[in-house]
Amino acid sequence: MKTSLLILLFFISFIGFSQNNYIVKTDDGRRVLLKADFTWEYIDAEVPVVKNAIEEKVRTAEVNGCNLAQDFVEPELDKNIQTQLKRGRATMEDIKKKVAKDYKCQVEDVILLSASEDKAKGAYDFCANGTKVSYKRNGHTILKKGQLI
């Protein structure tokens, strides 16, 4: 009885894993459903308005004094490191919240200019309210560069 139950469970899980459909994002931000029978279809009919929001942030930064290029894109961070930093609340979103709080602006107004990070530490440059600022991360502690405590 045990073996037949185990075999049945194996086949049910095998069938479930063999019929996977995947959802991926294109370069322009639309989501596509890739089906197991090698067909695909768009999930989102329209292109999202994310690029307009980014352009607005760049225009705001130019007006305030960071002088960013019109086609500036924030650098991509290592997803594995960011996943590990979630426990200590030291992800990029958390760092941006701290910068926005320190410079009394919205999180959307904080633009990441450059980043250098590993699991133990990181160095980040931001544009917040037209001011270029640098922050560092040591473990899960986030400080402005030059501060000891």
Is 40 a residue whose pLDDT tops 50?
Answer: yes
Same domain, 53 and 78: no
Number of domains in the chain: 2
> Quick check: 41 and 32 in contact, CB under 8 A?
yes
Which pLDDT does position 52 carry in this prediction? 57
13 domain residue, yes or no: no
Distance CA 80, CA 44 (A): 27
pTM of the shown model: 0.55
Kindly state whether residue 68 falls inside one of the protein's structural domains: no
- The tens digit of pLDDT for each residue in 45-72 reads 665 555 555 555 555 544 456 777 777 8
Q: Which residues pair with 142 in a beta bridge?
A: 137
Residues pairing with 117 in the sheet:
122
Domain membership of residue 9 (yes or no) is: no
Residue 48 included in any domain: yes
Q: Which domain holds residue 104?
A: 74-144
pLDDT at 16 over 70: no
**Same-domain pairing of 53 and 86:** no
Residue 75 pLDDT grade (very low, low, confident, very high; cuts 50, 70, 90): confident
